[in-house]
């Protein structure tokens, strides 16, 4: 259990570092598109563009996913766990910190609003 607890702390700290270093403009744009329903957070820690998403939101989805995948791979290698395990932990943290109105696609495919 101690290894999981240490891994959880490391992943959580990395998540908050990502938010801090991503910059307020990036975070503001992501939050704005999430609130508008143009970007949907997924249970696997990635995002997807909604069918009504404008081109700028679709481009942001590509950038966010590339950064998240890179981070998940780095953390998984450091912790000796699967990328999927890291992504699920991040997805939980993202859900907790996402602004009200954010859409989430659950593992069963259902989309719910926070």
Q: Which residues pair with 112 in a beta bridge?
A: 104
Q: Are 76 and 14 in contact (CB under 8 A)?
A: no
Which of 105, 94, 95 is closest to 22 using CA atoms?
A: 94
Which residues span the domain enclosing 44?
2-113
Please indicate whether residue 97 or residue 26 has the higher confidence score (pLDDT): 97
pLDDT above 90: residue 20: no
Return the DSSP state at 99: P
- Please name the residue that has the structure tokens 């659950």: 106
What is the reported pTM?
0.77
Query: What does the block give as tokens for 6?
Result: 């240490």
Structural domains counted in the chain: 1
Q: Are 79 and 71 in contact (CB under 8 A)?
A: no
Rounded Cα gap, residues 49 and 20, in angstroms: 23
pLDDT above 90: residue 63: yes
- Per-residue pLDDT, averaged over 90-110, amounts to 94
Give the number of other CB atoms < 10 A from CB of residue 40: 22
pLDDT above 60: residue 32: yes
Per-residue pLDDT, 28: 83
pLDDT above 80: residue 41: yes
């Amino acid at each position: 259990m101690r290894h999981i607890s240490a891994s959880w702390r490391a992943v959580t700290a990395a998540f908050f570092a990502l938010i801090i270093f991503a910059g307020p403009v990036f975070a503001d744009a992501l939050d704005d598109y999430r609130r508008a329903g143009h970007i949907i957070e997924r249970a696997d820690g990635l995002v997807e563009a909604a069918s009504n998403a404008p081109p700028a939101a679709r481009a942001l989805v590509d950038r966010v996913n590339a950064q998240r995948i890179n981070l998940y791979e780095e953390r998984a290698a450091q912790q000796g766990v699967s990328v999927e395990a890291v992504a699920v932990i991040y997805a939980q943290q993202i859900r907790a910190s996402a602004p009200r109105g954010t859409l989430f696609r659950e593992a069963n495919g259902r989309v719910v609003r926070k």
